[in-house]
Structure 1
Amino acid sequence: MPENSSERSSKRVLEPIDRVSEILFGLIMVLTFTGSLSIAEAGRDDVRTMLIGALGCNLAWGIIDGVLYLMGCLAEKGRGLLTFRAVRKTTDPKEAQRRIADALPSVVASVLEPIELESLYQRLKQLPEPPDHVRLRKDDWLGAVGVFLLVFLCTFPVVIPFIFMHNAEPALRVSNAIAIVMLFLTGYAFGRMTGRHPWLVGISMVVLGLILVGLTMALGG
């Protein structure tokens, strides 16, 4: 049971839903910087300050998200280890079956008969003693790096126009167009993953992203 839990933790970064969430978060953060740029008054120094702020912000949040991902992995592994120990320790078969069912996805647990849960209980009792503490595996560290890269790298498509275009006004327009396309593609992918209309979800994601950016800027983010 602890091993299965760790496998679920290490694979989370590969799940498309997580990728969509991290990209959306990174886009919102960088758009709060590009959206605060005043076209009429912006000079090269203002653009440079905005670029440094946007890159620095997403760099910091990428690191924070990576650390939080590792903490989530440890928490999930720890819950699995505690459940495994509790199942092995109890002498009440019904209590063991309940704990096993609680640790499984609800859909899976709902179709298992008591005799099947009892079989799992007996097999878990035959496993060797679990370790004293949970540890992060290589896949967990790779997952954290993946989270960091998703948050940080999604900054570049939005800020690249300001690097290569000297006029802030057309650069901002191109940047906003890129951000809208990325928001739409993020929503489109989310719609396909959730079985909803991709185009409708894509448009909704653009609207949602712009609303969240506006709220973030209004609240001083």
Structure 2
Amino acid sequence: MIKAFLFDLDGVIVDTAIYHYQAWKQMANGLGFDISEEFNEQLKGVSRMDSLDIILTHGGIELSQEEKLALATQKNENYLNLVSKMSPEDILPGVTDFFAQVKKENIKTALGSVSKNAKLILESIGMSDDFDAIIDGTKIAKGKPDPEVFLKGAEELVVLPEECLVFEDAVAGVEAGKNGGMKVVGIGKKEVLTQADVVFENLVGVDIHELLAQIN
């Protein structure tokens, strides 16, 4: 029986990809070149330093490690400045209605995000109080597909892994939930999230009772 819902943040609750792009674009422009949204696609899911290397190669620029670290720090500051201006309008479609159902059914909730900026984003969109536990990048040592972030969520909610339902938009996140012995709802495309137990394009119109009937 499912007693808790564990949610990834980016791609499930909000979409911060545009803010990463704007921060990288700002940095690239400062170096004298530009990056397109199409180019930015290859940076998704890539670490900050690796993304920086890809961008510098694109711009034909070579820098010392010290200079790279300074640029990466500046990019993150730009990104934080952008996400701090997020509002409830940035919440993805269907999320607010779905969480109203969750509250009504008294289902425990936890955030399971590898982002170290998760709390800032939740505060900006007004959803900090919607989670009984928040596990973010400051509380874990291993990223997804390691299940650590979700196992810690279950632990803080005092439920067993098999009593948890994970909501994820990324392949590595779905694998993390599965590796933790949990059922997983994929948010995105069925042909991509093949390991998920059930997949929805988004949370619009998703009924909790029907969902749990499918899962159980």
Q: TM-score range by the shorter chain?
A: under 0.3
- Larger proportion of helix: 1
Larger radius of gyration, structure 1 or 2?
1
- Larger proportion of strand: 2
- TM-score normalised over the length of structure 1: 0.23
- TM-score normalised over the length of structure 2: 0.24
